[in-house]
Amino acid sequence: MKHKYLVGVYNDDDILLDAVTKVRKEGYQVHEVFTPFPVHGLDEAMGLQDTRLHTIGFVFGAIGTLTALSVMAYTMAIDWPVIVGGKPFFSFPAYGPIGFELTVLFAAVGMTVVYYIRNGFSVLRDAEVLDLRITDHKFIMAFCLKRYHKDADITQITRLMKESGAEEVYVKDMENELSPNLFRKDGGVITEHAHHH
């Protein structure tokens, strides 16, 4: 099944940011925005939920610390105690460096893996590119036409985009649905209302 999107192409990040705010103020939900580089404030303007990636990093880091300390304590003090330079079997200060390194290792690897999984990144994945110019110099706003199928809505969104500085507006058929991450479990779009509360 094809997925239809109404696409507005912008030339400039600041114009795009204003446009997103303006369109949402009129009550339309932006389905997705594509940019060639991170535009600060865009996630807030779109009403995206904050990412929880940093929390994941903390959890993995804590697992790393515990793993390192328990393995070192177990091998050195419990399983096979060996006297090394007269140091105590459980020589906690000596566990510092590896404890630290494994904290960093686990946090970094864990976070990165979760980042790839959450974005659906994989070597096997063929990205369906909406517009080849996104990774170059164009900023793109897309509206889901399944949601806005009425002519009145389409005309209104088109007008809003053109007024806010879109240099091109067109309809694009995509094989895959864009960013299902934006949707909540119940299938509903994260709305203006939800964002404000």
Q: Which residues are at the interface with another protein (CB under 8 A)?
A: 13-14, 32-39, 42-43, 46, 48, 50-51, 53-54, 57, 61, 71-72, 75-76, 79-80, 82, 84-85, 87, 91, 94-95, 97-98, 100-102, 104-105, 107-109, 111-112, 115-116, 118-130, 132-137, 178-179, 181-182
Our CB check for another protein shows the closer of 154 and 183 to be: 183
Shortest CB 155 distance to another protein, Å: 25
- The tokens for 45 are 């303007």
Our CB check for another protein shows the closer of 136 and 151 to be: 136
Shortest CB 92 distance to another protein, Å: 11
Shortest CB 64 distance to another protein, Å: 10
Shortest CB 119 distance to another protein, Å: 5
Distances (CA, A) of 185 to 28, 102, 135, 137, 181: 21, 35, 30, 34, 9
Our CB check for another protein shows the closer of 128 and 150 to be: 128
Our CB check for another protein shows the closer of 74 and 150 to be: 74
Whole-angstrom distance, CA of residue 20 vs CA of residue 46: 7
Our CB check for another protein shows the closer of 34 and 143 to be: 34
Shortest CB 156 distance to another protein, Å: 22
